[in-house]
Chain A
Amino acid sequence: KNEVEQSPQNLTAQEGEFITINCSYSVGISALHWLQQHPGGGIVSLFMLSSGKKKHGRLIATINIQEKHSSLHITASHPRDSAVYICAVRTYLRHTGNQFYFGTGTSLTVIP
């Protein structure tokens, strides 16, 4: 069972390109999270969304609750954006409580 699906699994881009990573989920959620994991393993939270759109610098995250889909966009990509990007959903259902489910991640490499 895959509650969260991400695409693509791997992505290589030239510096300056516009990048989109997609996430679809199949469970009821209270929030969707985008995480970033750099080589070396540390995980950082980029966004938490329950509706609409959020923007931090060159990163934009959107969510469509009806379609159960979210996208993470990176504008003017830079080699320092090279990392694994992980989509996660927090459920809030009576039988699952506050459980998290994760996509398997998108490995992004930005070439100078």
Chain B
Amino acid sequence: EAQVTQNPRYLITVTGKKLTVTCSQNMNHEYMSWYRQDPGLGLRQIYYSMNVEVTDKGDVPEGYKVSRKEKRNFPLILESPSPNQTSLYFCASSSRLAGGTYNEQFFGPGTRLTVL
């Protein structure tokens, strides 16, 4: 089954304790991205990657790191989480189309993070 998986689905942690949220897709997609969703603000892009070893900042990259060492995986790292990073996080992926554009995104199920 074609899917994007995220782990963990729920996480409660404390300020300053490094954490990683994993994202994996089995569709051989080139484009992967991380978003956070907050009430009243909607979805905002954190980082994205157009292919292996290529990553770019989105709208709200501060406090986050990413890496794309393999095509299928795109982990999100919070080196020193703070309470303002409490949010619902989504990973998504899409395939590259002819002409350099990208297809519709497939979204993971979301990770609800609480930082105390």
Residues of A at the B interface (CB closer than 8 Å) are 30-31, 33, 35, 41-45, 47-48, 50, 86, 88, 90, 92, 97-105
Contacts and interface: CB of A to CB of B under 8 A. Distances in A.
A100 B109 CA distance: 19
Interface residues on B, range: 20 to 34
A85 to B, nearest CB: 12
Contacts of A41: 88, 109-110
B50 A99 contact: no
Given A42-B110, A92-B101, A98-B50, A86 B42 contact: yes
Nearest to B54: A97
B43 interface: yes
B42 to A, nearest CB: 4
16 contacts: A30-B101, A35-B107, A41-B109, A41-B110, A42-B110, A43-B90, A44-B107, A45-B105, A86-B43, A88-B43, A90-B102, A100-B35, A100-B48, A100-B58, A101-B45, A104-B41
Contact of B102 (A42, A43, A98, A104): A98
Contacts of B43: 86, 88, 100, 102
Contact of B44 (A33, A42, A102): A102
Nearest to B49: A98
Contacts of B92: 43
Nearest to B105: A45
B106 A45 contact: yes
A90 B101 CA distance: 10
A50 B103 CA distance: 11
Interface string B29-46: 001010100001111110
A25 to B, nearest CB: 13
Given A31-B102, A45-B105, A100-B43, 16 more contacts: A30-B101, A35-B107, A41-B88, A43-B110, A48-B104, A50-B101, A92-B101, A97-B50, A98-B50, A98-B56, A99-B48, A100-B35, A101-B45, A102-B35, A103-B42, A105-B42
